[in-house]
Chains A and B, each alone.
Chain A
Amino acid sequence: MSFDARSFLKDLRQEVESHPAVNHTFLARIGTSPFTIEDYKVFGLQHYALVGMFTNYMERLLINAPNTTAKCWLAKVLVDEYGEGSDGDDHTVLYRNFLTSCGVEVGEEDRVVLHTAVRDFIYSHLVLCSQRPFLVGLGALGPGHEWAIPRMFGPIIKGLRRANFSEDDIMYFTLHIGQDEDHALWLEEALASMIKNQEEADQVREGTLASLEARLQFWEGVQEQVVRWRQPGLGLALSERTRQWMAGANGLFGGVSRATAVYRPQIHDLSNRVPIR
């Protein structure tokens, strides 16, 4: 009897859409509380690191793709991510525009200390896309992202509009609602043709859930940064404060230590630790 991939995907989609990461209380707070532009600045500076890495994961996965069906889906999504449909501005550029509207100065993103949960999210996805079976990586970037993002961005867009950002400022988010719904449809077709048995289905589910678990931690980390920037006296959890202090966030060790704490060097460091197979 042949494996019913459609039925598996239907169940998986339901699992994704009801996952606590996708329905995180922090997102509901954004949707209902009058967060300020300053709050969104803190939010954006942490989230930016993820946005900047997505094509990196996709490119890694593309290299590992076993057949043209998979390569085609990945390539289509990549073309969108490179800027098709948004006047040639890739998604990192769109997100940088949003940061500018939050008051982020040129180069300020490079001086931000990323929360451990942000670094962990990136590292886990580099591993999922480079060192795990292809379908595990596809589960993480496919269902783990494309089915999750439209639902997560809904309350974020609501909150951003309440904070009086213009539609141009928040294009990164609004674009992803429509675009990721398209991606999700392509993905479902691609997955339905690729998953032939329970073992392959299990790999896709493993990657999906691993991505969502990292996402859950990510939202908690971002929430911690957003609600606590106003109270540095208490500040972050002790473990997080220690990590940031060791990374040079307190400025005591100046340039050398700080270099390991900021955005781009952190990301490069993480990428270097996970070589492409």
Chain B
Amino acid sequence: MRILLVQPAPFEDARLGLENTFWLSEPVGLTSIGTMVQDDHEVRILDMRLEEPSKLPATLSAFKPDLVGTTAMTTDAYQAKAVMMLAKQLVPDCLTVMGGHHATFMPEFYDEDYVDVVVQGEGELTFEDIVGIWSEGLDSGTKLQTTALAGVQGARTHLPDGSWTEGSKPKWREIDDFPAPDRNLISQYKGQYFFLAAKPLASIFTSRGCSFDCNFCAIWEFYDRKTRFLSAKNIADQMEACEETFLFLLDDNFLTNHSRLVRLCEELEERKLGKYWMTQGRTDFIAKYPDLIARLANVGLAGVLSGYETNDEDALEGLNKRNTLENNRAAAKILRDNGILSTGIFMVRPDFEEKDFDALYDYIKDLGVTFPLVTILTPLPGTEMFRKYRDQLLTEDFRLYDLLHPVIPTKLPREEFYKNFTRYRTVYRESRNGWLTPKVAWKRRDFLRKLLPGMPRTIVQGLKYQKIQFDYRSYLRDEAGIIEDVRPPASGGPDAVTVTS
């Protein structure tokens, strides 16, 4: 059986948002499911973020896949639909399979005549079952119908009569029992993935789930409140198998499970891989285990992305973050002292007034994270917050669910809100605790030297992106015609947008 797995392109190249500008990670979701079935089937992966648009129809016509699968987060939800639509248009007999985060939480979004199956939750085992049943049918030479897939665990199947049927919850397995995703499936894109100046970049998943239950995040719900870990040895094996110097460990919360990280340090200290890796983790863990962080830095931990979220204890509690400002401050210092790049994510809330923006930006300037990223609190599908605010949503156009547009009403008029939001450029100019002290630079000289080749591209991209990132009108244009009270100028010119409220 011929299987084509497609990572959709962003809905527009120049859109607001960091994806594809500062961070392009390997499509690990697709390599994982492709690896499960590649022994018995011909599997190809197309990463449309790195291809010309014509590549998808050309590949569909030439390869004539029996099955086309794609995946999407919420902002890519429509792009994934476009992939499915094209697949059915060009290869009418192919089975179209939709998976990923958005499909899991809003499966009915994909109730379209060109979608055959929606996989909900983790995909490997469900996909393996689907491929097994479908290929058996193809081999027998009978005309296949999706009825054969009804009841597959984790699958929502579109039946020939137009109705949909859902199987029971997806199966799961310890992560160590899955084969390591075969990165040869994306060998044609080798060297093209990056995080800031870290390029080329490989990507690895070493755990699934999160033991916390923040109300703006759906990870813990996606994994059904279970957290599972790849063993330290297996992580080190996968790191060693990568040719790239830079790695991103994509876990939603890598810095947890102290004993596993100690074992990982032991493995890496013994192997001396000489790799630099970045990941995501909570500040409370960093604050609690400074010695472990120092040890991890010595075996290659070079960057940590953390949700600092806010400057307000009550707000942290409101987010169910189960963390403190004191931890945030301590973590930023520990990372700085160890020469680890810290990327801090902060949220402004739609109910912010000018003084709230001021207070947050002042807090960030003092905190001293390397790359502060200010986002807008967004109720994403699948989260408690989405359920809570659903009746207040200004739009369900998911292209705006990119953490950069308030999709619930703002206290300030939207133009004022965005003017205040884009003032966050000052946190870069006026940061009072820089990262690169001479002492740190000397200590991390090898890491910095290896980053140098990727610097020019990052600087150029950064300068280009700043032009829209810090222009409040960019945000208004994005939502013109989508959020009800924002209209483009009557002349259709690109320079002005009027807000009628």
Contacts and interface: CB of A to CB of B under 8 A. Distances in A.
Q: Do A and B come from one complex?
A: yes
Interface of A: 18-21, 23-26, 28-29, 31-34, 36-39, 41-42, 45, 103-105, 108, 151, 155, 216, 220, 223, 227-235
A267 B54 CA distance: 28
B61 interface: yes
Contact of B467 (A41, A227, A229, A233): A233
Interface residues of B, number: 43
Nearest to A108: B492
Contacts of A233: 467-468, 471, 474
B180 interface: no
Contacts of B492: 38, 41-42, 45, 103-104, 108
24 contacts: A20-B58, A23-B57, A23-B60, A23-B89, A23-B90, A24-B53, A25-B56, A25-B86, A26-B53, A28-B86, A31-B85, A33-B79, A38-B480, A38-B488, A220-B53, A223-B53, A227-B15, A229-B477, A231-B12, A231-B14, A231-B468, A231-B474, A233-B474, A234-B465
Contacts of A103: 490, 492
Contact of A18 (B16, B61, B79): B61
B464 A230 contact: no
B481 A25 contact: no
Interface string B58-101: 10110000000000000000110111011001100000000000
Contact of A216 (B54, B81, B471): B54
B141 interface: no
Nearest to A37: B481
B399 interface: yes
A258 to B, nearest CB: 14
Contact of A231 (B86, B397, B477): B477
B85 A32 contact: yes
Given A25-B53, A234-B464, A32 B481 contact: no
Contacts of A235: 14
Contacts of B477: 229-232
B265 interface: no
B481 A28 contact: no
Given A32-B82, A42-B492, A216-B54, A234 B14 contact: yes
Contacts of A216: 54
A234 B467 contact: yes
B82 A232 contact: no
A230 B480 contact: yes
A216 B54 CA distance: 8
Highest count of chain B CB atoms <10 Å: which of A24, A32, A36, A45: A32
B85 A28 contact: yes
B482 interface: yes
Contact of A227 (B13, B56, B61): B13
A226 to B, nearest CB: 9
Given A41-B492, A234-B467, 4 more contacts: A26-B53, A32-B85, A33-B78, A229-B494
Closest 5 CB pairs of A and B: A36-B481, A227-B12, A28-B82, A20-B54, A32-B81
Contact of B480 (A23, A26, A31, A36): A36
B112 to A, nearest CB: 8
A232 B494 contact: yes
A165 B48 CA distance: 31
A34 B397 contact: yes
B11 A33 contact: yes
Given A29-B78, A234-B467, A227 B11 contact: yes
A31 B82 contact: yes
Given A18-B61, A24-B57, A32 B78 contact: yes
B264 interface: no
A29 B11 CA distance: 8
A155 B113 CA distance: 13
Contacts of B58: 20
Interface string B437-471: 00000000000000000000000000011011001
A220 B51 CA distance: 13
Nearest to A219: B53
